[in-house]
Amino acid sequence: MSVSPSWSALAGVVVLGATLTACGQGEALGTIDTRNAKKELVETISNPRVDGCHRFRAGVTHVANYTVNDLVLYPTADCTEPPGGQSTYLGTQLADTVAPSQGTWRSFTIVH
Query: How confident is the model over 21-51, as pLDDT tens digits?
Result: 445 569 999 999 999 999 999 999 999 999 9
Counting the structural domains of the chain, the total is 1
Residue 100 placed within a domain = yes
Residue 111 has pLDDT above 70, yes or no: yes
Q: Which amino acid appears at position 57 of this protein?
A: R
Residue 14 has pLDDT above 50, yes or no: no
For residue 49, give its domain range: 28-110
Residue 1 placed within a domain = no
Average pLDDT of the segment spanning 76-102: 91
In 3-state terms, what secondary structure has residue 66? Answer: strand
Residue 2 placed within a domain = no
Task: Give residues with Cβ within 8 angstroms of 52, minimum separation 6.
Answer: 109
Q: How far apart are CA 58 and CA 66, in angstroms?
A: 20
CB 26 within 8 A of CB 50: yes
Residue 5 placed within a domain = no
Contacts of 86-90 with C-beta under 8 Å, sequence gap 24+, read 90/63, 90/65
The mean predicted confidence, pLDDT, of the chain is 85
Residue 89 placed within a domain = yes
CATH of the domain at 73: 2.60.20
Residue 90 placed within a domain = yes
In 3-state terms, what secondary structure has residue 5? Answer: helix
Average pLDDT of the segment spanning 101-108: 92
Residue 92 placed within a domain = yes
